[in-house]
């Protein structure tokens, strides 16, 4: 039997969900007994049967991927509750098992999957989707592609009618309905607080915060998620900034992007020039500007996960 066929067969067994008691299932992928399935690919030793040796990998796979999602999505876990979150993760990973060399990509399809499986979000669909979008943006901002940044001096004495500016790929622009940025920071801060409170007390605190946010009336919130000095930051931005950044990212010239950003704006015409100048200076200082797609190469930094 060829190596790739063995690898695929073992992977099918390893990625098969565990039983309710967190043991390997007795039924093999495609039917039949798992003990016979394991014996075809795994040799026993003096201490463990083929089934027992394969079970070690099966259990460790699930313990690791579930722990990784819990680490990457503490906010979603707080919104759904621990038990529902774990059950949801098992269902998601059964349909979308790990296909990458890095656990960083585990949640890449989570938002799309949740939209197609809304029963997991019972009563908190919009809040949960806002949170999962923010947490994936957090991951993307942390290790997304970075291109050489343009400096503020590079923007002087240019023709705005012709100038095009790219936005760094790692800058994530979100339109939200709830203040999940504040909620996520509170959830993470609660996990890091070195006090004597039990896990149960900390969980009740999180649930209390989630309930308070869930009771709020939905409202438009525009957020930029970006990194600076190897740390991720959440920055609330104005609707005009959001529209302007998106227009620049889509390839519009600076002049056209400004026109589109203020098409339905409440900012007085007399204040718009100062608004744009301040925004551009801020974004340039943060290193958000780069050459448009196709004009410059970038260096991609990957997040290494243990």
Can you tell me the distance from the alpha carbon of 180 to that of 90, in angstroms, rounded to the nearest whole number? 24
Could you give the CA distance from residue 37 to residue 48 in angstroms, rounded to a whole number? 15
301: confidence class by pLDDT, cuts 50, 70, 90 = very low
Question: Partners of 233 in the beta sheet?
Answer: 226
- Block residue for tokens 């008691």: 21
Neighbours of 135 (CB within 10 A): 22
Q: How far apart are CA 113 and CA 76, in angstroms?
A: 14
d(CA 60, CA 13): 12
Asked if 280 and 155 count as a contact pair (C-beta separation under 8 A), the reply is yes
Q: Residue 146 has which token pair? A: 């970075």
**25-54 pLDDT, tens per residue?**
999 999 999 999 999 999 999 999 999 999
Cα dist. 244→15, 166, 252, 261 in Å? 44, 12, 9, 5
CA dihedral 143, 228, 169, 150 (to 10 degrees): -140
pLDDT tens across 191-229, in order?
665 555 567 788 888 989 999 999 999 999 999 999 999
**Per-residue pLDDT averaged across 8-30, rounded?**
96
Q: What is the mean pLDDT of residues 155-177?
A: 85
Give dist(CA 77, CA 136) in Å, integer.
14
Kindly indicate the confidence band of residue 296, based on its pLDDT and cuts at 50, 70 and 90: very low
pTM above 0.95, yes or no: no
Beta-bridge partners for 198: none
Spans of all domains in the chain: 1-68, 144-178+218-306
Q: What is the pLDDT of residues 261-293, one digit of tens each?
A: 999 999 999 999 999 999 999 999 999 999 887
Which of the pair, 160 or 184, is modelled with greater confidence? 184
- The mean of the pLDDT values for the chain is 91
Rounded Cα distance between 285 and 149, Å, is 10
Beta bridge partner(s), residue 284? none
CA-CA distance, 288 to 147, in Å (whole number)? 9
Q: Which of 199, 60, 221 is nearest to 130 (CA)?
A: 221
Torsion over CA: 43, 36, 55, 91 (sign): positive
175 has a pLDDT exceeding 60: yes
CA dist., res. 9 & res. 43, Å (int): 14
Reported CATH class of domain 144-178+218-306: alpha beta
For residues 233 and 124, give the distance between their C-alpha atoms in angstroms, rounded to a whole number: 25
Q: Given phi > 0 = left and psi -120 to 50 = alpha, else beta, which region is 248? A: alpha
Q: Over 90: is that where the pLDDT of 173 sits? A: yes
């Amino acid at each position: 039997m060829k190596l790739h066929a063995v690898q695929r067969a073992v992977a099918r067994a390893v990625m098969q969900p565990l039983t309710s008691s967190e043991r390997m299932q007795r039924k093999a992928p495609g039917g039949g007994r798992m003990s016979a399935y394991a014996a075809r690919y795994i040799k026993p030793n003096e201490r463990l049967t083929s089934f027992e040796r394969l079970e070690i990998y099966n259990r460790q796979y699930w313990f690791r991927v579930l722990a990784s999602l819990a680490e990457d999505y503490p906010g979603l876990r707080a919104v759904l509750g621990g038990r529902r979150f774990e059950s949801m993760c098992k269902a998601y990973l059964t349909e979308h098992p790990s296909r990458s060399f890095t656990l960083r990509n585990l949640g890449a399809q989570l938002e799309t999957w949740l939209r197609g499986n809304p029963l997991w979000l019972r009563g908190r669909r919009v809040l949960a989707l806002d949170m999962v979008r923010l947490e994936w943006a957090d991951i993307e901002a942390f290790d997304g592609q970075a291109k050489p940044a343009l400096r503020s001096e590079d923007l002087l004495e240019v023709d705005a009618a012709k100038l095009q500016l790219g936005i760094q790929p790692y800058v994530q622009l979100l339109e939200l309905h709830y203040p999940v940025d504040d909620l996520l920071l509170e959830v993470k801060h609660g996990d890091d607080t070195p006090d004597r409170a039990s896990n149960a007390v900390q969980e009740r605190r999180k649930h209390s915060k989630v309930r308070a946010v869930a009771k709020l009336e939905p409202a438009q919130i525009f957020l930029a998620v970006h990194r600076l000095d190897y740390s991720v930051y959440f920055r609330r931005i104005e609707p005009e900034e959001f529209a302007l950044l998106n227009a620049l990212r889509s390839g519009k010239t600076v002049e056209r992007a400004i026109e589109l950003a203020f098409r339905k704006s409440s900012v007085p015409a007399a204040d718009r020039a100062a608004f744009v100048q301040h925004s551009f200076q801020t974004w340039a200082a943060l290193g958000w500007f780069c050459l448009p797609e196709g004009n410059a190469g970038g260096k991609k930094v990957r997040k290494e996960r243990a």
